[in-house]
Structure 1
Amino acid sequence: MKKLIVLAFDNESGALKVRDKLFELQKQELITMEDAAVVVRNEDGKTDVKQAQSLVGAGAMGGAFWGLLIGLIFLAPVLGMAVGAVSGALGGRFSDIGIDDSFIEAVGEQIDPGESALFMLVSSVQRDRVVDALEPFGPEILETNLSAEDEEKLREQFAAEKMAA
């Protein structure tokens, strides 16, 4: 079972530093990241998303997945009722594929302006060793499971959207 893991940091540089550390840990086979994206939320509340290009391949979700998920988390609360229907539709899409509303809400509440987060789709992890290696960076860890069926639904949704675009 894969996990969608978010590591939240109380500064703008934490996620980038930890992404680099996780690349090292992946080389040591302590973690297998299928895809990852860094989100930096500046002091104005605007978000900058950087996908981990070295991971993007046949199994990677790609920009559409991260864009929709991150947009749902950070854009919907800012715009409020104006995007209520859109966020409801997107929230429904993610809950249909195993990413529940409470996870999305928890992530949105955790990452304030001036902070950053690392979003990862992880297929395997030696949790204790990775957590120990990341302890000096002080991340807040949020995670949810994705079954193989949920992951396949997710891939199909975004493959269909790419074909339509």
Structure 2
Amino acid sequence: MTTFTAWKFDSPEGARRAETALKGAQSDGLVKILDHAIVEWPEGASKPDLHHSNEDKWRGTGWGAFWGLLFGGIFFVPLLGAAAGAAIGGISKAVSAVGIDDAQLETIRQQITPGTSLLCAVTTDGDVDRLGERFHGFGTHSTLVATNLTDAERSALLETFG
């Protein structure tokens, strides 16, 4: 089963520490990472920074498009006006095809603020609960988004972005 998860941390560097734990979990056979991205929002910065991992160099461009679309819509689309509504609607439609709904997008938008960070991962063959245990002590608030993608949603994700 393929899963999209988003983990919030109380510091801009928390997601980087958790990334190390995520890779360790993969080495230990707990999960297979298809791709992941980090959003860091330092205090005083006007916007967050996105760091995409390119786990699979061959498909890195496709995943980069996915992360860019997802986080561009969450953090960089203006929040006011008809154009914003149209842009958010288009982004929402694109990511809902892969199992991420409007409520989850809004949760991420509201939770990630200056002084926090976010680790998002698309994984397979994993145990989200055991993975969460690896993040204990990194300031994990909660799993903001934990969507178990169906085979059809996974195919849509890979076809669209991979």
- Tell me the TM-score normalized by structure 1: 0.85
Which amino acid is the alignment partner of residue 23 of structure 2? Answer: F
Deviations 1:127-165 (A, max 9, x none): 443222211112121211211211211232236xxxxxx
Deviation of the 1:5 alpha carbon: 0.2
Residue pair 1:34, 1:121 contacting (<8 A) in 2 also:
yes
Work out whether 1:141 is the aligned partner of 2:148: no
Structure 2 Cα separation of the partners of residues 88 and 127 of structure 1: 29
The runs of 5 or more residues in structure 2 that have no matched partner are none
Number of corresponding residues = 157
Aligned equivalent of 1:132: 133
Deviation of the 1:80 alpha carbon: 2.4
Residue pair 2:11, 2:139 contacting (<8 A) in 1 also:
no
Deviates more, 1:107-116 or 1:150-159: 150-159
Residue pair 2:3, 2:148 contacting (<8 A) in 1 also:
yes
**RMSD (Å), alpha carbons:** 1.9
Q: Show the 5 A alignment for 1:44-59.
A: 44-53=45-54, 55-58=55-58
Alignment CA distance shift 1:62-1:127 (3 Å) = closer
Structure 2 Cα separation of the partners of residues 97 and 22 of structure 1: 22
Residue pair 2:97, 2:157 contacting (<8 A) in 1 also:
no
- Tell me the TM-score normalized by structure 2: 0.86
Structure 2 Cα separation of the partners of residues 116 and 145 of structure 1: 22
Residue identity over aligned pairs, in percent, reads 32
Aligned equivalent of 2:22: 22
The runs of 5 or more residues in structure 1 that have no matched partner are 160-165
Aligned partner of residue 131 in structure 1, secondary structure: helix
Residue pair 1:34, 1:123 contacting (<8 A) in 2 also:
yes
Aligned equivalent of 2:95: 94
Alignment CA distance shift 1:153-1:115 (3 Å) = same
Structure 2 Cα separation of the partners of residues 97 and 20 of structure 1: 26
Residue pair 2:15, 2:117 contacting (<8 A) in 1 also:
yes
Structure whose residues are more often helix by fraction: 1
Aligned equivalent of 2:36: 36
Deviates more, 1:143-152 or 1:55-64: 55-64
Deviation of the 1:71 alpha carbon: 1.0
Aligned equivalent of 1:12: 12
Which amino acid is the alignment partner of residue 144 of structure 1? Answer: T
